[in-house]
Amino acid sequence: MASENVIEITDDNFEAEVKNSQIPVLLDFWAEWCMPCKMLAPVIDEIADAYAGRIKVGKLDTDNARDAALEFGISAIPTVIIFNNGEIAQRFVGLQQKTDLTAAIDELLS
């Protein structure tokens, strides 16, 4: 992960970092072999840096954290889910524009 503001989410820390988070969480479900995921990675890093302290940004490798991927029905990657109070606030499937993601975050934070 390129940005120090992006945390790695695993099956082991999912509940603490996402479900019990006191602030909204943007979670990128991805895999190493996924080219669109790699294309989205710089956008995720930029969002993490721009919203540091206001939201938590994490990446979950679906190959290594299968339980969480199954729990949220991840059938295509990249999938970005924004959680608020442990609940899904918004879901984006496929490669997304930064403006679409930030608009959803801004709406949630307003």
Catalytic (active-site) positions = 34, 37
Q: Which two tokens stand for residue 110?
A: 């307003």
CA 8 → CA 57, 91, 100, 103, distances in Å? 9, 19, 23, 24
Omega before residue 78 within 30° of 0, cis: yes
Nearest to 107 by CA among 18, 26, 20: 26
